[in-house]
Amino acid sequence: MRGSLWQLGQSITRRLSQADKKAVARRYFASEADLKKTVLFDFHVAHGGKMVPFAGWSMPIQYKDSIMDSTVNCRENGGLFDVSHMCGLSLKGKDSVSFLEKLVIADVAGLAPGTGTLTVFTNEKGGAIDDSVITKVKDDHIYLVVNAGCRDKDLAHIEEHMKAFKAKGGDVSWHIHDERSLLALQGPLAAPVLQHLTKDDLSKIYFGEFRILDINGATCFLTRTGYTGEDGFEISVPSENALDLAKAILEKSEGKVRLTGLGARDSLRLEAGLCLYGNDMEQHISPVEAGLTWAIGKRRRAEGGFLGAEVILKQLAEGPSIRRVGFTSTGPPPRSHSEIQDEKGNNIGEITSGGFSPCLKKNIAMGYVKSGLHKAGTKAKILVRGKAYDGVVTKMPFIPTKYYKPS
């Protein structure tokens, strides 16, 4: 889904307050019958969730509070997100690591069991098919989550390469976890609230680590990760237990952790400088251009062995022609596709995500500019509705991350 979710949420809120609500509802929710629903759909609606189409699903963009308030509350207290539209899957077999390494840039073999990393599935030209968080559960079991909007193409891509790999005698199989739901609990209260619901000591699980454990009476896959820049967890729970878990989390937080929608999720990830696939990463953008060089394992830089490695290793050696950077700006918030110019009016790039930061109370954005113009402090002009406004290249993340790491 292109464009800002925050922008869509604001648009729906405005229209619902200004116009004939039934007419607006028809326009935005006309295809509701065709949309998939998570097991928490009725729970969202009962809590005032404004449901919108997203990647083929009916998802809450916000609840009764504003996207601004919801974003701030997640950073100050906590937010609970239903992200069950995303696709979790497991690869199993003694060759699952070597198989996956043909498709992603990560040093999967180098991961210790129970740890994971952000990675990118690449194509033959070095472009990004999708980004994903992958975890080595054991040497013969990989768990990964791919984006909802990329599910069909990702699964087709993995399956095509798996068939060829198995035909040559490789031992790998997969299971798509459609029997599970996925909840993200983010913010400073995430750990203390979740600790009430499990006997395992969460203080011993650090950022990027994975465990299979009992939470609220259900066997869950727990990863200490998220998409907000805050400490938090993604919890894969059997779908029949998802509603009870969501209720228990909200209850144990005594109202401080709130249900939080996709609108605030978009604001939070932008403040954290994180990419949204389809906006900030696409098939023609490489991990090097996207600023994800750190995700290319040291061994992989030396050996290659993944799709598009020749292009990516050349970019590592010579530098990419464009780079993803952050911006702050004056005037109206920049949006996806806003043109970036130098001070003489020459085109130097394009905004891919932008909005008003609820926590910083100013415009923030990210986009791609020509190499050499990517240094922090570089002044630029950003075009919004045909008018140029002052912008400056700014280091990301815009808000410091608070990941839970060993001290």
pLDDT exceeds cutoff 60 at 316: yes
CA pair distance 91, 356, nearest whole angstrom: 40
**66 in the same domain as 189:** yes
Residue 311 lies in a domain: no
- Same structural domain, 75 and 217: yes
Residue 277 lies in a domain: no
Pair 220, 330 in one domain = no
Residue 53 domain-assigned (yes or no): yes
The reply to whether 4 falls in a domain is: no
Within-domain flag for 394: yes
- Residue 7 banded pLDDT, cuts 50, 70, 90: low
In terms of domains, do 365 and 237 share one? Answer: no
185 and 68 fall within a common domain: yes
Assigned domain for 107 exists: no
User: Helices (H) and strands (E) in the chain — how many of each?
Assistant: 11, 19
Q: Examine the domain organization and report whether 261 and 337 are in the same domain.
A: no
Residues 78, 206, single domain; the answer is yes
The residue among 270, 289, 310 that closes a domain is 270
71 and 184 in a single domain? The answer is: yes
The pLDDT tens digits for 112-144 are 999 999 999 999 999 999 999 999 999 999 999
Give the pLDDT of residue 5. Answer: 60
Task: Output the domain CATH number for residue 343.
Answer: 2.40.30.110
Average pLDDT (20-43) is 69
Assess whether pLDDT exceeds 70 at residue 1. Answer: no
Over range 385-399, report the average pLDDT: 97
pLDDT at 11 over 80: no
Q: What is the distance between the alpha carbons of residues 382 and 337, in angstroms, rounded to a whole number?
A: 10
65 domain residue, yes or no: yes
Spatial distance between the Cα atoms of 301 and 312, rounded to a whole number of angstroms: 9
Q: Which domain holds residue 360?
A: 321-399
C-alpha 32/C-alpha 36 separation (Å) is 8
Q: Are residues 192 and 266 in the same domain?
A: yes
Question: What's the pLDDT tens digit per position in 49-68?
Answer: 999 999 999 999 999 999 99
Among candidate residues 270, 302, 336, the one where a domain is terminated: 270
Report whether pLDDT(206) > 60: yes
CA torsion sign, 392 to 7 to 361 to 73?
Answer: negative
Of the three residues 236, 252, 270, the one that is the final residue of a domain is: 270
- Contact indicator for 5, 262 with CB cutoff of 8 Å: yes
Q: Are residues 207 and 71 in the same domain?
A: yes
DSSP secondary structure string for all residues of 73-94: HHHHTEEEEE-TTSEEEEEEST
Write the CATH number for 238: 3.30.1360.120
Same domain, 74 and 187: yes
Number of domains the chain contains:
2
Cα separation, 272 vs 395, in Å, equals 11
- Cβ atoms of 128 and 290 within 8 Å: the answer is yes
In a domain, 208, yes or no: yes
72/183 same-domain check: yes
Q: Is 251 one of the annotated binding-site residues? A: no
